[in-house]
Amino acid sequence: MPRSAIRPSPVFLGLLALTAGAGFLTMVDNKTAARAGVFLLVLGGWAVSLCVHEFGHAVVAFRGGDWSVQHKGYLTLDPRRYTDPVLSLLLPILFLAIGGIPLPGGAVWINHGSLRSRAVESRVSLAGPLSNLAIGILLAVAVAVFGPSTTEIAFGGLTDHALWAGLSFLALLQLAAFVLNMLPVPGLDGWGAIEPYLSYEARAFGAKARQWAPLILFAVLIGVPGVSEVFWEVVIALYGAVGGDEIAAAVGQSLFFFWR
């Protein structure tokens, strides 16, 4: 694939700059600034990861035969190019801000008829959540290698290690997005990964259920007692397995939801 096909848009670069600036804000010796920095760091980082998630789908599709994604602007990491910027970026950020739910973003439209094989179709679906997994692991490892110890975070002031706490919470959210997206539910990437190998009847059902199945899933996660707890237990177990610091993530969550 020619390098010129991938050109990060000014919007994406602006999101990166916002996230980096928020990181510096967390290190200001002021509790209000530190809390605001964590809030912006997590929201900015989440917006960046949404762009990378959709870029993952697009770049694998491009390599697999669907060259239309380049003309649609999907390789620019510009959220305005997605099918619906509100559903793709604004709604997931809003859900995250009010409830901490890692709602999947909108979609990039892939011409599946141009893809070379069922295996390529499956890889296209997997590329998005795997990008969340990679970001989550990188952040968790960075905190483990360069950040303070669990003891320092646990016994320090709430904002003493705000940067590392914010990055830890962001890492946890990335892994939550990975687990959620890998569920074999129509409309999610886990279903897309297995759909090419399903029967015609199953694929027809998935096409009909794609619009409402994720909504039912989120309603179950929010409204059915015990389901959310099981989901987060799986996420936290994965987070610990990749070296994540649960205490740091909890501190980051507390700083992020500063109004609670």
Catalytic residues, which ones? 54
Lookup: tokens for 63: 């390599």
Residue 5 CA to residue 103 CA, distance in Å, equals 29
SS3 at position 131: helix
Residue 90 CA to residue 47 CA, distance in Å, equals 9
- Count of positions (residues) in the chain: 260
- For residue 49, which of 174, 137, 160 has the smallest C-alpha distance? 174
Lookup: tokens for 79: 């959220």
**The residue to which tokens 């290690």 are assigned:** 161
SS3 of 188-224: the string is CHHHHHHHHHCCHHHHHHHHHHCCCHHHHHHHHHHHC
